[in-house]
């Protein structure tokens, strides 16, 4: 069952939040039965640093792509080699490791930037950091008398 959310009541009482409301509608109305392959973790390291860990066992660095476009992190894996066929010299008793292509989308806040992407022990680890521009940071205003 897909549930849709109506944010019109919020729009009636808000001014200048159009982009935020559009983003919320897009995220909330996304199909909730999205695919779960490959498994991943989202880790909050600190208030301003996050990690996304994606299980990419069997993928090479050349088969993975990490792209940021319009505040959206897109991680994809395109498996270049075929799964060994039944006629190959290998006889699988059980085949539980996925060898299929994938695409994962993560919506990012305006000030979240991708710092790095590394492969370690079969995990693609993407480091994200909140970087607030100086003009948006709190500043002390001198009081004149």
pLDDT of residue 138: 87
113 and 43 in a common domain: yes
Q: What is the enclosing helix (H) or strand (E) of 18?
A: helix 18-28
**How many domains are contained in the chain?**
2
pLDDT of residue 99: 76
Report the percent of the chain where pLDDT is more than 70. 81
Beta bridge partners of 79: none
* CATH number, position 112: 2.60.40.790
122 and 107 in a common domain: yes
Query: pLDDT, tens digit, for every residue of 43-65?
Result: 999 999 999 999 998 899 999 99
76 and 20 in a common domain: no
44 and 13 in a common domain: no
8 and 78 in a common domain: no
Q: Is residue 144 part of a domain?
A: no
Residues of the chain with pLDDT under 70: 1-6, 11-12, 26-27, 29-34, 80-88
What are the Cα distances from residue 37, in Å, to 14, 26, 79, 98? 38, 21, 13, 8
pLDDT of residue 106: 92
Q: Whole domain around residue 56: which residue ranges? A: 36-84+94-132
Q: Is residue 121 part of a domain?
A: yes
61 and 19 in a common domain: no
Q: Is residue 89 part of a domain?
A: no
């Amino acid at each position: 069952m897909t549930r849709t959310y109506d944010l019109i009541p919020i729009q009636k009482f808000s001014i200048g939040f159009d982009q935020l409301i559009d983003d919320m509608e897009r995220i909330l109305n996304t199909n909730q039965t999205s695919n779960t392959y490959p498994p991943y973790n989202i880790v909050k390291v600190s208030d301003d640093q996050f990690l996304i860990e994606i299980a990419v066992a069997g993928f090479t660095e050349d088969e993975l792509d990490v792209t940021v476009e319009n505040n959206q992190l897109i991680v994809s894996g395109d498996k270049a080699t075929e799964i060994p066929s039944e006629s190959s010299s290998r006889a699988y008793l059980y085949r539980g490791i996925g060898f299929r292509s994938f695409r994962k989308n993560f919506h990012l806040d305006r000030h979240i930037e991708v710092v790095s992407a590394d492969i370690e022990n079969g995990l693609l680890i993407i480091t994200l950091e909140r970087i607030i521009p100086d003009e948006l940071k709190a500043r002390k205003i001198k009081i004149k008398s």
